[in-house]
Structure 1
């Protein structure tokens, strides 16, 4: 997110200390401002203004009677009518007059006009970050001088978690990283940062939101990389905290080690989810994983590696500690199934209409794997009344579940019986 900067910081392009409360799709920026008089001017670069969420500006700790927002000229516009050096590839350097900053129109010594490129211009002093962008200025009329906190929401700074599941014959490990993205042209010396995971509603639009990460005051020396620790929950949101300050450069992504939750359960299996049909079929199973983590998992992409090799990628949603996470990574050509359906009986009413039918569904699984593999099938069956031999009672909707351990290079069959009663 973009923070409001004092003019001196804007002109020098220096990173500014600030507090960030970062969510997956927006950030709250909190900046301490000090007014020496009853007028407080806060310039905002265009890139900051464009990312700002309307209606979220707030000044806390300073009473004001009025605030005015005006659009000013860019730093480059201040050089209009003045001479600069233009150094174009193959043409050498020459002194030109900057006629119009908006499209970099210049006039050379022969009086000819043309459009230049910003990277070909040379200046006597270092231009600030965003030299071509106009600045918006907030002018607060205060009741008295003092210090306060300026805050706003922006979509220019966000964060997200991403995971790697490292599986092998010995077990599995889940690693996570946190990516903090700065889409602004301003750097931040982050004094205190909070990351939030969960759902926050902004103006009727749900926004995924992550937990809080805190950083200590910035040091003049390069600090060690901060660590992220869990801070519990806040109103149903996940919270985390950074162990130290860090610098978030302009237009950058800073990646930090995140959580490494203990897996309380991990299984591989070949899976199939389908609806009931009276027709026979065959095909391949999908490669599936099932795990439970000892910590809450913020939503994010997950890459699965087997023995160090990538075998698939998927996305997990926000998950509570101990909740089961299911991963499906696509077709498994080494595990095939053949499904056959046999009608065992049919009952009719006095008009000759079929009212109840009994079927036997048989799955034959065949594996080309060098190790035994678990196969699992979930088949949804609908009807006025459905009875499955593996379930105790009739239901309007029912799910038949089959599990079979297929030996290495072997074959195994499993069946279930279903009664579909159409009688009202």
Structure 2
């Protein structure tokens, strides 16, 4: 670490009062900046202000009482300055300029003062912005935030949300034989136009409802107020990615649970350049991964066929934050999935594509269909005022036999997990097992686990009763 960085780090950490350090809390779509209040008013450039949620700017400290807050936009006006405008008779080869005075920079109104134009009266006309030539560079607006407050403590902190900093978790799942290796990286992004120094940081993840919609409202309000001022999202430049190395010694500590969220502290200072992704290693949890082929289908009275899905069941010994995961088997990329926020020792099941070597065919045969009357209970009809208790309802009981054939073209054993679902249009479902294989009823689903040997065709069947 350079000498200036050490001095800056010592200066900033010396401001830690009441366990509230100068810190940056980074979320999936924005960041909260917390820093000691040095002087008022707070001053932001227009570029910085475009990323700040104005209604989030506040002060906090011991027994602080804010009595007034003001937000002011100031911009040096160019009204009254001498400009040149392009003459309408100009061509691309010959540009003719006319001297004038800028009267209204918002509406681009110019007063002509060119001696070559013979006129007894003043001439005014509106010029497109790109046809005006200035003698000085137009200055962007500066935004000032001021507070009137009282506090019993001399140490006061300012906090606000800004959208140029965000982060996400990205994973690499490497599977080789019976070994499973999950690598987690924190991808921190600076979308701003300037570098950001971060003394301390917290990466916060979980189901967090934080939006920057107030920022969009502010922009729309400012545009309508000015009459012609436009705002554009900054264009992304070529993405720069920085992978930290051991020499930098920037590391992420183990996550800690806080109010249903998880916080990953970073205690070392670092700098993220503009338009840069900063990648830090997070952790390498102990994971177990089961591979299997899955058949999960909606019940249909029509015959169906298809291929099994290449599926996985993952379990980790620690919390995993939401993030995209690239999956490799034997050093080859075989797919990707989006991992959810997953608790330690919980299981997550996912599929990444079809397996062409394992196919299934399912035939459904109607065995019987019986119509009968059923007396509705008083309890059920107490919610329906239009139906009298004890009324007879006409029901139909259907009995189907499902014949399932699975063909394994692989030269190795494979595990299959079968699920038949989608019986919601029926009042009741009942499984009748007529096969040596184990099928079970799990709520409104029929399930079974099978093991198929290499290069084999297996046939299964079961019967169900459905009442509609």
| TM-score, with length taken from structure 1 | 0.71
Q: Per the alignment, do residues 250 and 31 of structure 1 end up closer, same or farther by CA in structure 2, a change over 3 Å counting?
A: farther
| Deviation of 1:58 (Å) | 0.8
Q: Is 1:302 aligned to 2:304, yes or no?
A: no
Summarize the Cα distance change of 1:360–1:230 in structure 2 as closer, same or farther, 3 Å threshold.
same
Aligned to 2:406: 365
Give matches, 1:249-288, under 5 Å. 249-263=273-287, 265-288=288-311
Matched, 1:409 2:416: no
**Distance change in 2, residues 1:47/1:233 (3 Å):** same
1:198–1:238 Cα contact (<8 Å) kept: yes
In the alignment, structure 1 residue 385 sits paired with structure 2 residue 428: yes
Cα separation, partners in 2 of 1:329 and 1:419, compared to 1, 3 Å: same
Q: 1:223 Cα shift?
A: 6.7
Q: 1:198-231: CA deviations, max 9, x gaps?
A: 12334899xxxxxxxxxxxxxxxx9714111224
* Structure 2 residue 359 is the aligned partner of structure 1 residue 339: no
State whether structure 2 residue 174 is matched by structure 1 residue 174: no
State the distance in 2 between where 1:204 and 1:323 align.
32
1:204-223 to structure 2, matched below 5 A, reads none
Q: Could you tell me how far apart the structure 1 residues matched to 2:260 and 2:339 are?
A: 18
Task: Report 1:82-231 matches (<5 A).
Answer: 133-141=140-148, 147-202=155-210, 224-231=248-255
| Distance in 1 separating the partners of 2:150 and 2:321 | 44
CA contact 1:173–1:262 (8 Å) conserved in 2:
yes
Match in the other structure for 1:8: none
Q: Which has the higher strand share?
A: 1
> Does the aligned pair in 2 maintain the 1:29–1:151 contact within 8 Å?
yes
Shift of 1:45: 1.8
Bigger radius of gyration: 2
Q: How does 1:318-333 map to 2 (within 5 A)?
A: 318-333=341-356
Residues 402 and 414 in structure 1, CA contact (< 8 A), matched pair in contact too: no
Give the distance between the partners of 1:411 and 1:392, measured in 2 at CA.
22
Measured in 2, the distance between the counterparts of 1:392 and 1:369 equals 27
Where 2:200 maps in the other structure, the secondary structure is strand
Report the Cα offset of residue 240 of structure 1.
Answer: 1.5
SS in 2 for 1:47: helix
Q: Deviations over 1:326-346 (max 9, x none)?
A: 121122222211111233444
Find the counterpart in structure 1 of residue 27 from structure 2.
Answer: 23
- Indicate whether 1:374 and 2:420 are aligned: no
**1: CA distance, partners of 2:406 / 2:145:** 70
User: Within the alignment, does 1:247 sit opposite 2:271 as a pair?
Assistant: yes
| Structure 1 segments unaligned to the other structure (5+ residues) | 1-16, 84-98, 104-110, 206-221
Q: Distance in 1 between matches of 2:25 and 2:286?
A: 27
> Secondary structure of 2:50's match?
helix
**1:34 is paired with a residue of what secondary structure?**
coil
> What is the CA RMSD across the aligned residues, in angstroms?
4.2
Q: Secondary structure at the match of 1:56?
A: strand
In 2, Cα distance between the equivalents of 1:280 and 1:59?
Answer: 67
Task: Give matches, 1:25-40, under 5 Å.
Answer: 25-35=29-39, 40=40
Cα distance, 1:41 vs structure 2: 2.4
Equivalent in the alignment of 1:219: none
The equivalent position to 1:237 in structure 2, one of 248, 253, 261, is 261
Q: Is the 8 A contact 2:403 2:462 kept in 1?
A: yes
Evaluate the alpha carbon distance shift between residue 146 and residue 133 of structure 1 in structure 2; reply closer, same or farther with a 3 A threshold. farther
Task: Summarize deviations over 1:131-168 as a string: whole Å, max 9, x none.
Answer: 96422112345669954211012222211111111112
Q: Per the alignment, in what secondary structure is the counterpart of residue 53 of structure 1?
A: strand
Confirm or deny: 8 A CA contact 1:294 1:321 kept in the other structure: yes
Measured after TM superposition, the shift of residue 181 of structure 1 is 1.4
Q: 1:365 to 1:420 in 2, by over 3 A?
A: same
Contact kept? 1:101, 1:132, Cα under 8 Å: no
What TM-score, normalized to structure 2?
A: 0.65
Q: 1:349 to 1:73 in 2, by over 3 A?
A: closer
Q: Hey, what's the Cα distance between the residues in 2 that align with 1:51 and 1:325?
A: 36
Task: Work out the CA distance in 2 between the residues paired with 1:324 and 1:341.
Answer: 33
Unpaired segments ≥5 residues, structure 2:
1-20, 84-101, 108-115, 117-126, 214-245, 374-393
What secondary structure does 2:180 align onto?
A: strand
Conserved 8 A contact 2:30-2:163? yes
**What SS is found at the alignment partner of 1:250?**
coil
